[in-house]
Protein backbone atom coordinates (compact mmCIF):
# COMPACT_ATOMS: atom_id res chain seq x y z
CA UNK A 1 0.00 0.00 0.00
CA UNK A 2 2.86 2.30 0.96
CA UNK A 3 4.44 1.68 -2.44
CA UNK A 4 1.28 2.77 -4.27
CA UNK A 5 1.28 5.98 -2.28
CA UNK A 6 4.88 6.51 -3.31
CA UNK A 7 3.95 5.87 -6.93
CA UNK A 8 1.11 8.37 -6.77
CA UNK A 9 3.38 10.91 -5.15
CA UNK A 10 6.00 10.42 -7.87
CA UNK A 11 3.42 10.96 -10.62
CA UNK A 12 2.24 14.13 -8.92
CA UNK A 13 5.79 15.44 -8.50
CA UNK A 14 6.58 14.65 -12.14
CA UNK A 15 3.44 16.42 -13.35
CA UNK A 16 4.29 19.51 -11.34
CA UNK A 17 7.90 19.42 -12.49
CA UNK A 18 6.87 19.14 -16.13
CA UNK A 19 4.43 22.00 -15.70
CA UNK A 20 7.24 24.08 -14.27
CA UNK A 21 9.31 23.30 -17.34
CA UNK A 22 6.81 24.93 -19.68
CA UNK A 23 8.08 28.28 -20.82
CA UNK A 24 6.85 31.57 -19.53
CA UNK A 25 5.29 30.41 -16.29
CA UNK A 26 8.11 30.53 -13.82
CA UNK A 27 9.48 33.68 -12.28
CA UNK A 28 13.26 34.04 -12.42
CA UNK A 29 14.96 32.80 -9.32
CA UNK A 30 16.59 35.46 -7.20
CA UNK A 31 20.01 34.57 -5.87
CA UNK A 32 21.47 36.67 -3.10
CA UNK A 33 25.19 36.49 -2.66
CA UNK A 34 25.93 37.08 0.97
CA UNK A 35 29.61 36.49 1.09
CA UNK A 36 32.44 37.20 -1.29
CA UNK A 37 35.44 34.95 -1.61
CA UNK A 38 38.70 36.34 -2.90
CA UNK A 39 40.43 34.03 -5.33
CA UNK A 40 44.03 34.63 -6.22
CA UNK A 41 44.91 34.52 -9.87
CA UNK A 42 47.27 31.62 -10.37
CA UNK A 43 48.42 32.27 -13.89
CA UNK A 44 47.86 34.81 -16.59
CA UNK A 45 48.51 35.38 -20.24
CA UNK A 46 52.07 34.74 -21.25
CA UNK A 47 51.98 36.04 -24.82
CA UNK A 48 55.16 37.83 -25.93
CA UNK A 49 54.73 41.58 -25.85
CA UNK A 50 57.25 42.34 -28.56
CA UNK A 51 59.01 40.56 -31.38
CA UNK A 52 62.19 40.58 -29.27
CA UNK A 53 60.48 38.33 -26.74
CA UNK A 54 59.85 35.60 -29.29
CA UNK A 55 61.91 32.47 -28.91
CA UNK A 56 64.92 31.66 -31.06
CA UNK A 57 62.71 30.33 -33.83
CA UNK A 58 60.74 33.59 -33.85
CA UNK A 59 57.43 31.71 -34.05
CA UNK A 60 54.22 33.62 -33.33
CA UNK A 61 51.45 31.41 -31.99
CA UNK A 62 47.76 31.96 -32.72
CA UNK A 63 45.16 29.89 -30.89
CA UNK A 64 42.51 28.06 -32.90
CA UNK A 65 39.67 26.48 -30.89
CA UNK A 66 37.57 24.14 -33.07
CA UNK A 67 35.31 21.13 -32.48
CA UNK A 68 37.17 17.94 -33.34
CA UNK A 69 35.10 15.42 -31.42
CA UNK A 70 31.47 14.70 -30.58
CA UNK A 71 29.07 16.16 -29.73
CA UNK A 72 30.60 19.01 -31.72
CA UNK A 73 30.50 19.08 -35.49
CA UNK A 74 33.64 17.14 -36.31
CA UNK A 75 33.16 17.74 -40.01
CA UNK A 76 32.96 21.49 -39.38
CA UNK A 77 35.96 21.45 -37.08
CA UNK A 78 38.10 19.45 -39.48
CA UNK A 79 37.18 21.75 -42.35
CA UNK A 80 38.14 24.80 -40.29
CA UNK A 81 41.37 23.19 -39.16
CA UNK A 82 42.32 22.42 -42.73
CA UNK A 83 41.55 25.97 -43.80
CA UNK A 84 43.61 27.51 -41.00
CA UNK A 85 46.56 25.25 -41.78
CA UNK A 86 46.40 26.40 -45.40
CA UNK A 87 46.41 30.02 -44.23
CA UNK A 88 49.42 29.39 -41.97
CA UNK A 89 51.28 27.59 -44.75
CA UNK A 90 50.63 30.45 -47.15
CA UNK A 91 51.87 33.04 -44.65
CA UNK A 92 54.94 30.99 -43.84
CA UNK A 93 55.68 30.41 -47.51
CA UNK A 94 56.26 34.15 -47.73
CA UNK A 95 58.60 34.11 -44.74
CA UNK A 96 55.96 34.54 -42.09
CA UNK A 97 54.41 37.62 -40.48
CA UNK A 98 56.25 40.74 -41.68
CA UNK A 99 58.25 38.38 -43.85
CA UNK A 100 60.34 37.05 -40.98
CA UNK A 101 58.26 35.62 -38.14
CA UNK A 102 56.73 32.20 -38.85
CA UNK A 103 53.19 31.75 -37.60
CA UNK A 104 51.95 28.59 -35.89
CA UNK A 105 48.28 27.76 -35.32
CA UNK A 106 47.70 25.95 -32.03
CA UNK A 107 44.53 23.88 -32.38
CA UNK A 108 42.42 22.84 -29.42
CA UNK A 109 39.42 20.53 -29.55
CA UNK A 110 36.41 22.13 -27.87
CA UNK A 111 33.83 19.42 -28.75
CA UNK A 112 31.42 22.34 -29.15
CA UNK A 113 30.95 22.39 -25.35
CA UNK A 114 31.13 25.49 -23.13
CA UNK A 115 33.35 23.89 -20.52
CA UNK A 116 35.75 22.69 -23.17
CA UNK A 117 35.71 26.16 -24.74
CA UNK A 118 36.75 27.68 -21.43
CA UNK A 119 39.48 25.08 -21.00
CA UNK A 120 40.68 25.69 -24.53
CA UNK A 121 41.05 29.41 -24.04
CA UNK A 122 42.70 29.05 -20.64
CA UNK A 123 45.19 26.62 -22.10
CA UNK A 124 45.90 28.57 -25.26
CA UNK A 125 46.33 31.89 -23.46
CA UNK A 126 48.13 30.83 -20.29
CA UNK A 127 50.08 27.79 -21.46
CA UNK A 128 50.68 28.20 -25.17
CA UNK A 129 51.16 31.97 -24.91
CA UNK A 130 49.15 32.75 -28.05
CA UNK A 131 48.98 36.41 -29.07
CA UNK A 132 45.40 36.09 -30.39
CA UNK A 133 42.68 33.56 -31.03
CA UNK A 134 40.80 32.86 -34.26
CA UNK A 135 38.23 30.14 -34.86
CA UNK A 136 35.35 28.26 -33.22
CA UNK A 137 32.33 26.77 -34.89
CA UNK A 138 29.77 26.38 -32.10
CA UNK A 139 28.15 29.31 -30.31
CA UNK A 140 27.87 27.27 -27.12
CA UNK A 141 31.65 27.04 -26.92
CA UNK A 142 32.15 30.55 -28.29
CA UNK A 143 29.98 32.10 -25.58
CA UNK A 144 32.28 30.64 -22.95
CA UNK A 145 35.44 31.44 -24.90
CA UNK A 146 34.65 35.13 -25.21
CA UNK A 147 34.58 35.42 -21.42
CA UNK A 148 38.11 34.04 -21.14
CA UNK A 149 39.35 36.27 -23.96
CA UNK A 150 37.87 39.22 -22.10
CA UNK A 151 39.29 38.14 -18.77
CA UNK A 152 42.82 38.04 -20.17
CA UNK A 153 42.42 40.86 -22.68
CA UNK A 154 43.48 38.70 -25.62
CA UNK A 155 41.95 39.52 -29.03
CA UNK A 156 39.64 36.83 -30.41
CA UNK A 157 38.08 36.70 -33.86
CA UNK A 158 35.10 34.36 -33.92
CA UNK A 159 34.80 32.66 -37.28
CA UNK A 160 31.50 30.74 -37.20
CA UNK A 161 29.61 31.50 -34.00
CA UNK A 162 26.26 33.09 -34.76
CA UNK A 163 24.77 33.80 -31.33
CA UNK A 164 24.02 37.55 -31.20
CA UNK A 165 25.45 37.80 -27.70
CA UNK A 166 28.97 36.96 -28.85
CA UNK A 167 29.39 40.58 -29.86
CA UNK A 168 26.35 42.12 -28.16
CA UNK A 169 28.20 42.16 -24.83
CA UNK A 170 30.63 44.56 -26.56
CA UNK A 171 33.88 43.25 -25.15
CA UNK A 172 36.85 45.20 -26.54
CA UNK A 173 38.70 41.97 -27.39
CA UNK A 174 35.91 40.19 -29.26
CA UNK A 175 35.41 40.47 -33.04
CA UNK A 176 33.25 38.40 -35.35
CA UNK A 177 33.30 37.75 -39.07
CA UNK A 178 30.48 35.18 -38.93
CA UNK A 179 26.95 36.50 -39.34
CA UNK A 180 24.88 37.15 -36.23
CA UNK A 181 21.79 34.92 -35.92
CA UNK A 182 19.52 37.94 -36.32
CA UNK A 183 21.09 38.78 -39.70
CA UNK A 184 20.43 35.27 -40.95
CA UNK A 185 16.92 35.12 -39.48
CA UNK A 186 16.00 38.18 -41.49
CA UNK A 187 17.23 36.56 -44.71
CA UNK A 188 15.51 33.27 -43.93
CA UNK A 189 12.18 34.93 -43.24
CA UNK A 190 12.34 36.94 -46.46
CA UNK A 191 13.17 33.81 -48.44
CA UNK A 192 10.11 32.01 -47.08
CA UNK A 193 7.97 35.06 -47.75
CA UNK A 194 9.18 35.25 -51.35
CA UNK A 195 8.53 31.54 -51.82
CA UNK A 196 4.93 31.94 -50.65
CA UNK A 197 5.33 29.76 -47.58
CA UNK A 198 2.50 29.85 -45.04
CA UNK A 199 3.98 27.73 -42.24
CA UNK A 200 7.51 26.73 -41.23
CA UNK A 201 8.64 23.87 -38.99
CA UNK A 202 11.87 25.10 -37.40
CA UNK A 203 13.85 22.10 -36.23
CA UNK A 204 16.63 23.38 -34.03
CA UNK A 205 19.30 22.18 -31.68
CA UNK A 206 19.07 22.72 -27.95
CA UNK A 207 22.16 24.93 -27.77
CA UNK A 208 23.30 28.53 -27.43
CA UNK A 209 23.15 28.74 -31.19
CA UNK A 210 19.93 26.90 -31.90
CA UNK A 211 17.62 28.38 -29.28
CA UNK A 212 18.17 32.09 -30.01
CA UNK A 213 18.45 31.44 -33.75
CA UNK A 214 15.10 29.66 -33.85
CA UNK A 215 13.41 32.28 -31.70
CA UNK A 216 14.83 35.06 -33.83
CA UNK A 217 13.63 33.32 -37.01
CA UNK A 218 10.18 32.75 -35.54
CA UNK A 219 9.94 36.42 -34.62
CA UNK A 220 10.95 37.54 -38.12
CA UNK A 221 8.53 35.10 -39.72
CA UNK A 222 5.71 36.41 -37.55
CA UNK A 223 6.52 39.96 -38.64
CA UNK A 224 5.99 38.80 -42.23
CA UNK A 225 2.75 37.03 -41.36
CA UNK A 226 4.16 33.50 -41.55
CA UNK A 227 3.26 31.00 -38.86
CA UNK A 228 5.87 28.65 -37.47
CA UNK A 229 6.55 26.07 -34.80
CA UNK A 230 9.87 25.32 -33.12
CA UNK A 231 10.97 21.73 -32.44
CA UNK A 232 14.09 21.35 -30.33
CA UNK A 233 16.41 18.36 -30.32
CA UNK A 234 19.64 17.67 -28.50
CA UNK A 235 22.77 17.83 -30.57
CA UNK A 236 23.97 14.28 -31.18
CA UNK A 237 20.45 12.84 -31.42
CA UNK A 238 20.15 9.92 -33.80
CA UNK A 239 16.52 8.88 -33.66
CA UNK A 240 14.03 11.35 -35.15
CA UNK A 241 11.20 9.15 -36.40
CA UNK A 242 8.64 10.29 -33.82
CA UNK A 243 9.53 13.93 -34.34
CA UNK A 244 9.16 13.50 -38.09
CA UNK A 245 5.75 11.93 -37.53
CA UNK A 246 4.79 14.83 -35.33
CA UNK A 247 5.82 17.43 -37.90
CA UNK A 248 4.07 15.45 -40.64
CA UNK A 249 0.94 15.53 -38.51
CA UNK A 250 1.22 19.21 -37.58
CA UNK A 251 1.73 20.19 -41.19
CA UNK A 252 -1.71 18.88 -42.13
CA UNK A 253 -3.29 21.89 -40.37
CA UNK A 254 -1.97 24.34 -42.92
CA UNK A 255 -2.96 25.08 -46.47
CA UNK A 256 -0.61 26.03 -49.27
CA UNK A 257 3.13 25.81 -49.29
CA UNK A 258 4.94 24.80 -46.11
CA UNK A 259 8.61 24.52 -45.20
CA UNK A 260 10.98 22.67 -42.91
CA UNK A 261 14.02 24.62 -41.76
CA UNK A 262 16.84 22.60 -40.16
CA UNK A 263 18.86 24.61 -37.67
CA UNK A 264 20.53 21.53 -36.22
CA UNK A 265 24.20 21.71 -37.09
CA UNK A 266 26.71 19.11 -38.12
CA UNK A 267 26.21 15.41 -38.44
CA UNK A 268 22.99 15.38 -36.43
CA UNK A 269 21.32 17.31 -39.22
CA UNK A 270 22.00 14.47 -41.66
CA UNK A 271 20.16 12.03 -39.39
CA UNK A 272 17.12 14.27 -39.25
CA UNK A 273 17.08 15.06 -42.96
CA UNK A 274 17.26 11.45 -44.17
CA UNK A 275 14.72 10.25 -41.62
CA UNK A 276 12.44 13.12 -42.56
CA UNK A 277 12.41 12.08 -46.20
CA UNK A 278 11.83 8.45 -45.25
CA UNK A 279 9.02 9.57 -42.96
CA UNK A 280 7.16 11.38 -45.72
CA UNK A 281 8.57 14.91 -45.42
CA UNK A 282 10.28 14.82 -48.79
CA UNK A 283 10.66 18.03 -50.81
CA UNK A 284 7.69 18.68 -53.03
CA UNK A 285 5.87 21.55 -54.68
CA UNK A 286 4.09 22.18 -51.37
CA UNK A 287 7.01 21.51 -49.07
CA UNK A 288 10.34 23.33 -49.24
CA UNK A 289 12.93 21.45 -47.21
CA UNK A 290 15.84 23.63 -46.12
CA UNK A 291 18.68 21.36 -45.00
CA UNK A 292 21.37 22.54 -42.65
CA UNK A 293 24.31 24.44 -44.11
CA UNK A 294 26.57 21.35 -43.87
CA UNK A 295 24.72 20.16 -46.97
CA UNK A 296 27.29 22.31 -48.78
CA UNK A 297 29.73 19.48 -48.14
CA UNK A 298 28.25 17.57 -51.07
CA UNK A 299 30.17 14.34 -50.63
CA UNK A 300 29.12 13.85 -47.00
CA UNK A 301 25.62 15.11 -47.70
CA UNK A 302 24.87 12.60 -50.43
CA UNK A 303 26.38 9.76 -48.49
CA UNK A 304 24.28 10.52 -45.43
CA UNK A 305 21.14 11.89 -47.05
CA UNK A 306 20.91 9.78 -50.21
CA UNK A 307 17.23 10.68 -50.63
CA UNK A 308 17.86 14.40 -50.19
CA UNK A 309 17.47 15.45 -53.80
CA UNK A 310 15.82 18.85 -54.27
CA UNK A 311 16.69 19.95 -50.76
CA UNK A 312 17.52 23.61 -50.39
CA UNK A 313 20.36 24.80 -48.19
CA UNK A 314 21.58 28.11 -46.97
CA UNK A 315 24.91 29.75 -47.72
CA UNK A 316 25.83 32.85 -45.73
CA UNK A 317 28.90 34.79 -46.68
CA UNK A 318 30.46 37.64 -48.56
CA UNK A 319 29.02 36.21 -51.76
CA UNK A 320 27.57 33.06 -53.25
CA UNK A 321 30.03 30.21 -53.79
CA UNK A 322 30.18 31.14 -57.45
CA UNK A 323 30.99 34.77 -56.70
CA UNK A 324 33.64 33.74 -54.19
CA UNK A 325 35.25 31.39 -56.69
CA UNK A 326 35.88 34.42 -58.90
CA UNK A 327 37.69 36.41 -56.23
CA UNK A 328 41.42 36.65 -56.80
CA UNK A 329 42.02 36.48 -53.04
CA UNK A 330 40.08 33.21 -52.84
CA UNK A 331 41.45 31.27 -55.79
CA UNK A 332 44.66 30.11 -54.11
CA UNK A 333 42.75 29.02 -51.03
CA UNK A 334 40.11 27.12 -53.00
CA UNK A 335 42.73 25.16 -54.92
CA UNK A 336 44.77 24.45 -51.79
CA UNK A 337 41.62 23.28 -50.00
CA UNK A 338 40.72 20.84 -52.75
CA UNK A 339 44.30 19.54 -52.72
CA UNK A 340 44.28 19.18 -48.95
CA UNK A 341 41.19 16.95 -49.15
CA UNK A 342 42.46 15.26 -52.28
CA UNK A 343 39.05 15.92 -53.81
CA UNK A 344 38.80 18.14 -56.90
CA UNK A 345 35.08 18.71 -56.23
CA UNK A 346 35.37 19.76 -52.61
CA UNK A 347 34.64 23.46 -52.75
CA UNK A 348 35.44 25.03 -49.36
CA UNK A 349 32.43 25.22 -47.08
CA UNK A 350 31.59 28.69 -45.83
CA UNK A 351 32.96 27.93 -42.37
CA UNK A 352 36.23 26.93 -44.04
CA UNK A 353 36.31 30.33 -45.75
CA UNK A 354 35.62 31.99 -42.41
CA UNK A 355 38.33 30.08 -40.56
CA UNK A 356 40.86 30.91 -43.26
CA UNK A 357 39.91 34.56 -43.22
CA UNK A 358 39.78 34.85 -39.40
CA UNK A 359 43.31 33.53 -39.15
CA UNK A 360 44.51 35.78 -41.98
CA UNK A 361 42.83 38.75 -40.34
CA UNK A 362 44.87 38.24 -37.17
CA UNK A 363 48.00 38.07 -39.29
CA UNK A 364 47.07 41.29 -41.09
CA UNK A 365 46.32 43.02 -37.78
CA UNK A 366 49.71 42.05 -36.33
CA UNK A 367 51.39 43.28 -39.48
CA UNK A 368 49.54 46.56 -39.31
CA UNK A 369 50.20 46.97 -35.57
CA UNK A 370 53.84 45.92 -35.95
CA UNK A 371 53.42 44.76 -32.39
CA UNK A 372 52.41 41.68 -30.45
CA UNK A 373 50.72 43.58 -27.64
CA UNK A 374 47.04 42.69 -27.35
CA UNK A 375 45.93 46.33 -27.21
CA UNK A 376 47.89 47.13 -30.38
CA UNK A 377 46.39 44.18 -32.26
CA UNK A 378 42.91 45.20 -31.11
CA UNK A 379 43.58 48.79 -32.21
CA UNK A 380 44.73 47.52 -35.60
CA UNK A 381 41.57 45.45 -36.00
CA UNK A 382 39.47 48.45 -35.06
CA UNK A 383 41.30 50.54 -37.64
CA UNK A 384 39.73 48.31 -40.32
CA UNK A 385 36.58 50.39 -39.90
CA UNK A 386 35.27 50.82 -43.43
CA UNK A 387 35.42 49.04 -46.77
CA UNK A 388 38.12 51.49 -47.84
CA UNK A 389 40.22 50.75 -44.77
CA UNK A 390 39.33 47.08 -44.72
CA UNK A 391 41.30 43.96 -45.56
CA UNK A 392 40.46 42.04 -48.73
CA UNK A 393 40.51 38.31 -48.03
CA UNK A 394 38.88 35.20 -49.51
CA UNK A 395 35.26 35.99 -48.63
CA UNK A 396 35.33 39.73 -49.12
CA UNK A 397 36.62 42.96 -47.64
CA UNK A 398 36.62 42.79 -43.85
CA UNK A 399 35.86 45.79 -41.70
CA UNK A 400 34.23 46.53 -38.37
CA UNK A 401 32.23 49.76 -38.54
CA UNK A 402 31.48 49.92 -34.82
CA UNK A 403 34.00 49.75 -32.00
CA UNK A 404 35.57 51.85 -29.27
CA UNK A 405 36.10 54.85 -31.59
CA UNK A 406 32.67 54.60 -33.13
CA UNK A 407 30.22 53.10 -30.64
CA UNK A 408 27.13 51.30 -31.87
CA UNK A 409 24.40 53.92 -32.35
CA UNK A 410 20.99 53.49 -30.79
CA UNK A 411 19.35 52.65 -34.10
CA UNK A 412 21.63 49.66 -34.60
CA UNK A 413 21.49 46.38 -32.65
CA UNK A 414 24.10 45.92 -29.93
CA UNK A 415 25.59 42.93 -31.72
CA UNK A 416 26.90 45.20 -34.48
CA UNK A 417 29.87 45.88 -32.17
CA UNK A 418 33.02 44.53 -33.85
CA UNK A 419 30.76 42.75 -36.32
CA UNK A 420 31.56 42.37 -40.02
CA UNK A 421 28.31 43.66 -41.49
CA UNK A 422 28.60 42.15 -44.98
CA UNK A 423 27.47 38.51 -44.72
CA UNK A 424 24.56 37.91 -47.06
CA UNK A 425 22.11 35.03 -47.14
CA UNK A 426 21.84 32.86 -50.24
CA UNK A 427 19.73 29.78 -50.83
CA UNK A 428 21.00 27.02 -53.06
CA UNK A 429 19.28 23.88 -54.25
CA UNK A 430 20.49 20.50 -55.43
CA UNK A 431 18.45 19.11 -58.29
CA UNK A 432 20.30 15.93 -59.14
CA UNK A 433 21.56 13.15 -56.86
CA UNK A 434 25.32 13.26 -56.19
CA UNK A 435 25.65 16.82 -57.47
CA UNK A 436 28.68 18.83 -56.42
CA UNK A 437 28.25 22.18 -54.71
CA UNK A 438 29.39 23.99 -57.83
CA UNK A 439 26.54 22.36 -59.80
CA UNK A 440 23.80 23.44 -57.40
CA UNK A 441 21.56 26.36 -58.34
CA UNK A 442 21.44 29.62 -56.41
CA UNK A 443 17.69 30.14 -56.17
CA UNK A 444 17.54 33.17 -53.87
CA UNK A 445 17.91 36.15 -53.82
CA UNK A 446 16.41 36.69 -57.23
CA UNK A 447 19.26 38.87 -58.52
CA UNK A 448 21.78 36.15 -57.76
CA UNK A 449 19.99 33.21 -59.37
CA UNK A 450 22.30 31.04 -61.42
CA UNK A 451 19.73 28.77 -63.09
CA UNK A 452 17.22 31.42 -64.03
CA UNK A 453 14.63 30.20 -61.56
CA UNK A 454 13.67 30.20 -57.90
CA UNK A 455 12.55 27.00 -56.14
CA UNK A 456 12.92 24.01 -58.42
CA UNK A 457 9.87 21.82 -57.99
CA UNK A 458 10.98 18.20 -57.53
CA UNK A 459 10.97 16.36 -60.81
CA UNK A 460 11.96 19.41 -62.82
CA UNK A 461 15.32 20.62 -64.04
CA UNK A 462 16.51 24.17 -64.59
CA UNK A 463 16.11 25.48 -68.11
CA UNK A 464 19.59 27.02 -67.95
CA UNK A 465 22.57 25.82 -65.98
- d(Cα 217, Cα 230) in Å, to the nearest integer? 10
The correct pick among 7, 222, 433, 457 for binding other proteins (CB under 8 A) is: 7
Per-position x/- string for 178-217, each x denoting binding to other proteins as judged by CB under 8 A, each - no binding: ----------------------------x-----------
Where does 315-459 have alpha helices with state H?
Answer: 321-325, 328-340, 350-369, 374-383
Residues that bind other proteins (rule: CB under 8 A) add up to a total of: 57
457 binds other proteins (CB under 8 A): no
- d(Cα 109, Cα 100) in Å, to the nearest integer? 29
Subset of 41-80 contacting other proteins (CB under 8 A): 68-70, 74-75, 78
150-174 in b/e form (b: 16+ CB < 10 A) is bbbbbbbbbbbbbbbbbbbebbbbb
37 binds other proteins (CB under 8 A): no
Subset of 253-272 contacting other proteins (CB under 8 A): 253, 267, 270-271
Q: What is the largest CA-CA distance in the chain?
A: 82
As measured in angstroms, the least distance from the Cβ of 120 to other proteins is 18
Burial (CB < 10 A; 0-12, 13-18, 19+), residue 329, is middle
Phi first, then psi, for residue 103 (nearest 5°) are -110, 145
As measured in angstroms, the least distance from the Cβ of 135 to other proteins is 17
DSSP H or E segment with residue 275 = helix 266-278
Contact 325, 188 (CB under 8 A): no
Residue 272 or 420 having the CB closest to other proteins: 272
Residue 75 or 88 having the CB closest to other proteins: 75
Contact 68, 77 (CB under 8 A): yes
As measured in angstroms, the least distance from the Cβ of 11 to other proteins is 8
The correct pick among 26, 241, 446, 457 for binding other proteins (CB under 8 A) is: 241
Residue 80 or 442 having the CB closest to other proteins: 80
Q: Could you list the residues that contact other proteins (CB under 8 A)?
A: 3, 6-7, 10-12, 14-16, 18-19, 21-23, 68-70, 74-75, 78, 206, 229-234, 236-243, 245-246, 248-250, 252-253, 267, 270-271, 274-275, 277-280, 282, 300, 303-304, 306-307
Amino acid sequence: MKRWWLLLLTVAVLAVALAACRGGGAAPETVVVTQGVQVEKESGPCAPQSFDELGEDGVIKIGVPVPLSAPGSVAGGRAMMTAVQIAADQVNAKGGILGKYPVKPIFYDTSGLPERGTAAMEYLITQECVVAVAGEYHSAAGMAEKEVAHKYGIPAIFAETWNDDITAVQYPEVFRIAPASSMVAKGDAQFFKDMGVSWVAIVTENTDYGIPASESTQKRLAELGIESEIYKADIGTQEFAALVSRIAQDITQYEGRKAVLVLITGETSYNFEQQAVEGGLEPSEDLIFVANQVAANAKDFWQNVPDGNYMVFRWVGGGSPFAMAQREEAKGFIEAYKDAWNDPYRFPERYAFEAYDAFMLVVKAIEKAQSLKAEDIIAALESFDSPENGVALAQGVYYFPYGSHNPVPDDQPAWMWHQWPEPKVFFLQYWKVDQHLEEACVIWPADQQTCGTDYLVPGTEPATE
